[in-house]
Structure 1
C-alpha cells in the first residue's frame, strides 16, 4: 500500500447569485501538474506552515480560535480557514475580507490585484500582504461543509477540508495562468452535465460536492442549509480496478469498497477524472 504522507489541505467553493439561481467557480488546472492535471477544481491547496502565523490568525474576523477548533475537530483550525482564503486569492484572485468603509472598494481591488502578482511571483508572503494592506480576513464567511481524504494507493494524498462562501459582487476571478489556466462560473447542474458528457474532468470529491450544491435553488437556501450542518464526517474512498484494468473510485457504501483495499496506482497512473463506463 502507498506510503504517501497525508498533506493537510483546504478548498473553498465560491458561489454567486445568477439568473439561473447561482453559479460556482471552477478552475482548470494545468494539464502538466502531477495532481489532477487538466481537471476542473475548486480553489484550494495544501495548508502552509505559515497559515497558522499569529500575525494572520490575529487578523481573522467572524470566528474565534476555539470555535474553529470545535467545528473542525482539530487544534489550530484557523490555519485551514486562512489556507482556504489564501489559495482562493492566489489561484483565482478572490480574497474575502471584512469591509473597510474608510477605503473605496475600487481602491482595494486595485491594491489586491497588484499585491497578488507579488504573491504569485514569490516576492511577498500572504502575511506581508495582509499586514501591508491592513486587511481583516473574513473567516466567518467560510462555512465548513465537507471533509475528504485521498484514497490509499495514490502517490499524493490530501486530508482536505471543504468550505463554502459567497463571493462579493465586485470581485472577479482571474486565474494565475501558471497552475491555473482557465476559469468558469457555472451552475452546478451544467458542470455535472459537462462531466458526464466528457467535457470536464473532475475528481470524485468535486463531483459529490457539486451534487450537494445542485440540490439547492439559490444561494441563501444553500448557505442556510450549510450553516445548519451539525456533523461533517470524513470520507475516504478507495481505488479499485475495473475488468478492463482501469482505476475507479468506490465510496464506503459501494459494494466495490471492501474489495478495493489493496489497489495502488501504478507509476504515472493518474487519478480518475472521467465517469466510469461499462460494467
Structure 2
C-alpha cells in the first residue's frame, strides 16, 4: 500500500489475540456515477464509536443475513452458479452474497437494484421507505420485500470486483466480497442510515487526497478500490472491466503511533 496509507495505532490491540477471530461473510457495493468532474463514488462516513471502522469513510455494505440465501427471490442476470465460480463458493452462498449486496445498498443508500421485470429498474424508491426501515430492523427479508412489491432482483447491474479479508491482527474480522454498480437512472443515493454521520459523492482522486490530508480516514480496501476505479475514469469502463477475484489479506505492522498496511 502507499507509504501514506496508515491507520490509527489504537485501531488494533497492542497485543494480538493468540487465536485470530474467524471472519464473518460481508459485502460491499461501490456505487458509481459519471459526474461533472468525472467518475464519482458514493461514500458514507461511519459514526464514530462504532465497534468496527468507526469514523472511517466506506462504501455501502454490511453482513450477510442467512435469509439472503432464500431461493424464492425473482432473479435476473447471471445466475448464482456464475457468481459461485467467481467467488469460489457454493451456489447458496453466492446467492446470499448477491442478495445481501442488493439489500445492504438499499438499506444504506436508498438505491435499489431491482425492477418490475428483467429489463427495467425502479425509478423512485421513496414509496419503499417503510420497507427499507423494516429491512434494517430485520422485520422483513429481501425475498419478502421483493415478492410483496412484484420486483425482480437485477444481478446484472452488479459486477464482482474484489475479496478483502480483515487482517488477522484485528479483533473483528470480515471476509468481504466487493461489487461495483452504476447508480440507476432516476434514483438518488441519500445515505439516510443511522450508521453514517454523513454521505457524499466524490471523485476517487478527491477522496484519496482528503485521506492524505487528514480530512477522511479510509480503510485499505476502500483506498485501493478508489484508486482502481479512478484509474479507469468512467462508469462504462469500470463495469466492463473483467476481474479475477482472489482473497486479499493485508498484514498490519505497528510503526510508532501508527499502523502500516502491507499486502503480502
- Say yes or no: TM over 0.5: yes
The 1:105/1:223 distance shift into structure 2, 3 A limit, reads closer
Residue aligned with 1:137, SS: strand
Cα separation, partners in 2 of 1:117 and 1:163, compared to 1, 3 Å: same
Structure 1: gaps spanning 5 or more residues: 253-279
Q: Structure 1 residue 246: deviation in Å? A: 2.9
The SS at the match of 2:108 is helix
Matches within 5 A, 1:129-208: 129-208=145-224
CA shift for structure 1 position 33: 0.7
Correspondence for 1:249: 261
SS in 1 for 2:160: strand
Alignment of 1:60 onto 2:87: no
User: Per-residue CA shift, 1:12-35, capped at 9, x if unaligned?
Assistant: 101012122221100111112110
Higher relative contact order (CA 8 A, sep 6+): 2
Tell me the secondary structure at the aligned position of residue 55 of structure 1. coil
- Residue 17 of structure 1 corresponds to 34
Conservation of the 8 A alpha-carbon contact between 1:2 and 1:153: no
Deviates more, 1:154-163 or 1:19-28: 19-28
Instruction: State the partner residue of 1:50.
Output: 67
Matched-pair contact (CA < 8 Å) for 2:107–2:193: no
State whether residues 163 and 245 of structure 2, in contact with CA within 8 Å, keep that contact through their aligned partners in structure 1: yes
Is the Cα–Cα contact under 8 Å of residues 2 and 155 in structure 1 kept in the other structure?
Answer: no
Looking at structure 2, the residues matched to 196 and 84 of structure 1 have their Cα atoms a distance apart, in angstroms, of 29
User: Alpha carbons of 1:104 and 1:49: their partners in 2 closer, same or farther (altered >3 Å)?
Assistant: closer
Matched-pair contact (CA < 8 Å) for 1:89–1:116? yes
TM-score scaled to structure 2, two decimals? 0.86
1:150-186 Cα shifts (integer Å, max 9, x gaps): 1102110011110011011311122234112211011
2:251 equivalent to 1:235: no
Structure 2 residue matching 1:181: 3-state secondary structure: strand
Q: Take 1:212 and 1:236, find their aligned partners in 2: how far apart are those partners?
A: 17
Paired with 2:203 and 2:215, the residues of 1 have a C-alpha distance of 15
- When normalised by structure 1's length, the TM-score is 0.82
Post-superposition offset of 1:125: 2.8
Q: How does 1:118-137 map to 2 (within 5 A)?
A: 118-137=134-153
Contact kept, 8 Å, 2:42 with 2:201, in 1: the verdict is yes
Paired residue total = 245
Cα 1:130–1:105 change in 2 (3 A) is closer
| RMSD, matched Cα | 2.0
Moved over 3 A (4+): 98-106
Q: What is the Cα deviation at residue 135 of structure 1? A: 1.0
5+ residue gaps, structure 2: 1-17
Q: Flag the 1:133–1:165 CA change in 2: closer, same or farther, 3 A.
A: same
